[in-house]
Amino acid sequence: MGETELCQERVIDNFIDDIGRKMEYSIIGEGTPILVFHGGHSNCKEEFGYAELLEQGYSIITPSRAGYGNTDPLLGKDLQTACHAYLTILNRLNIEKVHIIAISAGGPSGIFFASNYPERVRSLTLQSAVTKQWLTSKDMEYKAAKILFRPTIEKYTWRIISHLSNRFSEFMFKQMAPSFSKLPYIEVVAQITDVDIEMFRKMNNRQRSGYGFMIDLSQTGTISAADLRSIKCPTLILHSINDSAAPVEHAYYAQHNITNSKLCILQNWGHLIWLGHDSERMYDELIKFLVTY
């Protein structure tokens, strides 16, 4: 899949809700709306997969989730509080129903929203999504994240990562690949092009954790099987068999508990399913699903 640029203008809006909390979201495109719950370390400026959806005539609404971007961390009190705030965005835009795409650590937000506001949801797509308890205090990744991505440190962490990515993009991709893929690097690099490396570099330049990633770590264990079982809308689950960030067991767990779901296991290199081999299949499956509903 070649690199594609956003050909339409993204509008970013900030507003204060009825009890004084700041919300940020972006909207781009015209047509049937998709509400995107971005992954960890991201915000309303996310780009992966957007150009392809815009080409198909969709509009994309992306809140900066609780604690990310300019959205108030207090909205991360729990998923109920956060999802009610995301609902206010749809009401503000006079949008009755949306497709939902929930990505990685945004999985719990998408699951909770689809479970609790079924009348506002056309369909749910889970992309590399966290669907059950994820990192815990026993995991080394959790311990490292609590140090590197805590709010007082994260901007320096990302400044270093972006600087090194800009200067040594292939080296940084190699260093970070195990965070995304279970495959040996020789097998990863066989699936990745120079264009993919450039998209990875750009990702590292727009990443920030804010308070959001700490909120994500605190909330992933709050999603229950009951939340998944109460989802009634059509659901597509897209996940790589080689994902090391959110292992494929999250996808199987979602399929087991969501009645009206379709599971598509990808053979691509890992967590970032928009890059590399099998990304075209991922887009084909996603578009076929969206146009059906």
What residues are labeled active site?
104
Measure the CA angle with vertex 205, ends 36 and 249; round to 5°.
50
What's the token pair of residue 196?
A: 């993919």
Residues linked to residue 126 through DSSP beta bridges, in sequence order? 102, 237
What's the token pair of residue 75?
A: 């909205």
- Other CB atoms within 10 A of residue 175 CB: 14
Residues linked to residue 148 through DSSP beta bridges, in sequence order? none
What's the token pair of residue 264?
A: 């598509």
Query: DSSP label at 210?
Result: T
Query: Where does residue 41 fall: left (phi above 0), alpha (psi -120 to 50 degrees), or beta otherwise?
Result: left
- Distances in Å between the Cα of 82 and the Cα atoms of 47, 63, 215 are 22, 10, 11
